Chains A and B, each alone.
Chain A
Amino acid sequence: MSTVKQEYDVKKHFLELFRENRSVIDSGSAPLMNKQREGAIEEFERLGIPSQKSEKYRYADINGVFNPNLSKSFGVQKVSFNIHDIFECDIPDLDTNLILLVNGRYFNKEEPLRELQGGIITGSLARASKDMPQIVEKYYNSAASTEDDSLVALNTAFAQDGVFIYLPKDAVLEKPLQIVNIMIHETDLMAQHRNLFIAEENSSAKVVVCDHTLSPNKFLTNGVTEIYAASNSNFDLSKIQNEHNGSAQLSHTFLEQESESTVFTNTVSLHGGFVRNNMFVRLNGEGSENHTLGLYLADKTQYIDNYVKIDHASPGCSSRQLFKGVMDDQASGSFNGTIVARKDAQKTNAYQANNNILLTDDARINSRPQLEIYADDVKCSHGSTTGQLDENAMFYMRSRGIPEREARLLLMYAFAYEVVNQIHVKPLRLRIDDLVNKRLRGELSRCNNCAMNCE
């Protein structure tokens, strides 16, 4: 009974919060975004917080992450410190255009939109909604579908700001863009940011997103990212989730791809108490290509949940999913990947793989690789394995004088490398490689700059 009561409370809490703070929320954002709030909150009211009875959140206790002590802030954010003093990305040779999000809000709100080479525009989404409304209006909240997911509606109702990236036709961004999500606050905090990335025809860019926590408070983020990749565009998104274990992260990414576009996404989850990544890809144009990869290394009581849905809405598209995980201690996790090939999506080529290693009897993994095929001329397959390290490979190394622990690490490292190897920003790849290595060895694997000595 207690869960029912709690569910009721969370919903009621947000509905009240919305009504009480409506004007503050609006004033901190832009009219374009404010326009969508009313519909979204109604949708949220209708759906409520997803329960574990729904197939989509079967293994994820979403209710549990809504801690009543989480504060929410909608007014002007006072940052009483110079963020650059305590945060500096220390990845050697990683030369990027850096964008900071602090507690889900654009760090320097007053900063005008930045124009990079080839007319590429980056900056705050709220700002962009005011300065270039015709573009933002066209795309904002059109890919994000609530599709019985109230968390997206919750974000639309409350989100005030986030990152905006616009790649005009033929623009090529050579230096990767790096978005750093920092959570730092004196109290426990919930933040909801909203990102919008638009890649017009023939454009190309690489984006790196890093999630960090800089204070030991409990955090909850519920972020939505919408990405549009027009014809022949090339977009590459790497996401590093490295928050402390007291934090919870709900992330929803919606991706729309037009003909001949290629999009790579790679999500590496290293730390974070509760991580739920939703990824929705719609392949709208013929010949588009999608690669969705993920690596999760969990220990202690971490919970990491990846949900991917690739919708082949046009013929001749190809998609590939590869998710690999190592679960240690009492960690638990879940993978749910769905490939949908619609009626006219002939010549679809889709592949999906999920491999897991369980290191202890207390660790647990649930895997649901699914296929929904409505077209006949398709090549769709999937595979899922759960097991331990190959005893033969272990024996091979042991017989060559490699100690058991070393051999085990080597094998796990090789297991993870298949995903890490496909991060296309080289300095980042080397760093992740190093982090994964340290992570598997059980050494502290946060970025060195992190002041936190959290467990």
Chain B
Amino acid sequence: MRIVIGQGSCGIAAGAEKVRKALLNTNINKDDISITGCIGMCYLEPIVDIYDDNNKVTRLVQVSENDAETIAQFVESGDKSLLDKLIVSDEDSEFLTKQTRIALRNCGILNPEKIDEYIGAGGYEAIKKALTEMTPEEVIDVVKTSGIGGRGGAGFPTWFKWNAARSSEGEEKYLICNADEGDPGAFMDRAVIESDPHNLIEGMLIGAYAIGAKHAVVYVRAEYPLAIKRLKKAIEQAKEKGLIGNNIFGTDFSCDFMIKAGAGAFVCGEETALIESLEGHRGMPRLKPPFPAQSGFWRKPSNINNVETFANIAWIINNGGEAFAAMGTEGSKGTKVFAVTGKVKRSGLVEIPMGKTLRDVIFDIGGGMKTDKDFKAVQMGGPSGGCIPAELIDTVIDYKALGATGAIMGSGGMVVMDESTCMVGMAKFFLDFTAKESCGKCIHCRIGTKRMLEMLERITKGEGKEGDIELLEELCYSIKDGALCGLGQTAPNPVLTTIKYFRDEYEAHIKDKKCPAGECSDLIEYKIDADKCKGCTLCARNCPVNAISGTVKNPHVIDTDKCIKCGKCYTVCKFGAVVKE
């Protein structure tokens, strides 16, 4: 029997380490307790999997340290009824069974800190096959057949980039992994590195062999300390086994690995800015061409791919390009991982074949809304993407189809919103982000995002003017035209898509000075519904400015002149008597 505790960052934040320590304090044999990475059912963390001797798993969810003794009793007696309250429901199990996991195939199963588990699961066979049976050109051909596109968001064909870097002249080349996962609401790459670092290393080794690079570099966000720790450990282990270093598998292929921690700058997800940062400079994008394939890190030919792209490569080499291309749509092959969060019932990591619909992800797998409000929109692609409204819920997951909505596939962040989310507020949220993260190189991006943010702030305060929407649109297009890199070119997308699909909400803010979602505090008034108010005095006692009056057991009243709209009464009321208007 093995007891395995899910220990990705989310799991640890939810208390998984406390559970592990509590289990170690029981009578359970310590050697039987181990860890795995992110299982992906983030909403049920902490998760404990119990494998019996036939490797059949019993999954326990939302486990606390107080459950450790119960688990120990089960281990001793084998009485499964002890675990009734903890065992995952059939409905929740479907969250995983409905997925097709390729990039995440080992996540939540293997111990990320043990190379032997990865090798035991067929790991490092793909690089062996590539080095001993295939030429670099053949590797590129298989990747071409698979049809895989860059999973960082743009979907540019991976084989094309590899081929360009391979064809570039020069002895010294670099293979770089972009693990600067900066989109707020996206955590797929972190999960892959924390849960299956050897899969990333193997994919990168194959890429390095294909383009002829002797140096591999991983650029990881500094905000991901656990990912950095596990990747470092994995690199050490791979070195010890001779899988990184000189003459790998006895061939003349040699490759070293280096980790560089980012320092917190969203723009460094742009490949030329990333290279500047790797070289120790401010992360400001370079003019293209020359492209990194010709002149990249230290001005040498370089190839940059995203974590999830590399996480698919070993599988593709093992199973063939055709097997990968058999999944998906005409223009988008294989699977895609999404980080589904927000107002959705089941949040976590979802990997599904391209060609499924947004409805499949949000309702079928995600279980729909966790609130009693209706689904309003889903935000995809972070600050570069857009909001897709409820009426387009049947949009197919495909680079082209999603692009046609005005949003983008993006790296995989999917933030679900219900009717309580203000779409103008959402646009303001992203502009606040891009205005702060603009590196300042291009005037349109630097000043344009700031001016747009100011306008959106005015609108959400009820100071919007006739013509603001048109002016916003005009600014959007000039920023798109005037910015050098992807950050600026896509920064207007959240504004453009919300204007496109929720124009009436902008108009309500500007003309009627109302926020239909009830989120913009300057545009709402709190009132007490006398029929629902029980006179419990809780709101009056919590009001910081004494704006609520009334006596016990009698309906209370808010003095709107005194009210500062902090919303405290709204959150404390147990009877739903405080309403926003």
Please say whether chains A and B are actual partners in one complex.
Answer: no
